[in-house]
Structure 1
Amino acid sequence: MSLKIRLARAGSKKRPYYHIVIADVRSPRDGRFIETVGAWNPMLPKDGDRVKIDEDRVKHWLGHGAQPTDRVARFLDAAGLTKREARNNPSKGEPGKKAQERAAAIKQAQEAAAAALAAAQETSAE
């Protein structure tokens, strides 16, 4: 049985509140879970008591092979329970294929215009 430490949504519409739970990977997000090990209230300020974690139980479940989701891994890293590797996607900031083609066409047009201008200046100088 593969376990996840993940968020289960609670709270009303537009007022989110999440429980940090241990659940089987096959169960739905807000469905059956094994144990609640914490809570996250995103409506509170970041410097306040936004995340509450039962550290002993989280250590217990991590020892039994539970894998945290990315968001929960951030919380556990902030609490000093696990180490989260920083993600790096350098290609994400690059423009798409069509935008690159447009940029190349604009650059080519600018070079052609600069060459024509240089040729016109040479003929007028003679």
Structure 2
Amino acid sequence: MVVIRLSRGGSKKRPFFNIVAADSRNPRDGRFLERVGFYNPVASGNAESLRLAFDRLDHWVKNGAQVSPTVARLVKQAQQAATPAA
């Protein structure tokens, strides 16, 4: 099964997460099918903390990918941030 989840990067005490579509049998930071965005929880100043490619996310969900709870929360957060700007 394909799952859309976070893959951790960055250094110690400075996390950075890629949002990826991956086979659920692969390890968290292992091989993935496609990178659909990123999340930087410690972004400061004008740094971008969340970016998602909604078209690719929709593509994977329409083809049966499951979204992890954390990614679902981030997607909802990104959609709320995008609607007032539109």
TM-score, normalised on structure 2?
0.84
Structure 1 moving runs of 4+ over 4 Å:
none
User: Which structure is higher in helix share?
Assistant: 1
- The equivalent residue for 1:25 is 24
TM-score, normalised on structure 1?
0.58
Higher relative CO (Cα under 8 Å, sequence separation at least 6) belongs to: 2
Structure 1 stretches lacking a partner, 5+ long: 81-126
**Alignment: residue pair count:** 79
Deviation of 1:49 (Å)? 2.6
Distance in 2 between the 1:40 and 1:54 partners?
12
- The equivalent residue for 1:68 is 67
Structure 2 stretches lacking a partner, 5+ long: 80-86
For the aligned residues, what is the CA RMSD?
Answer: 1.8
The structure with more radius of gyration: 1
| Seq. identity, % | 48
* 1:74-115: CA deviation from partner (whole Å, max 9, x where unpaired): 0112233xxxxxxxxxxxxxxxxxxxxxxxxxxxxxxxxxxx
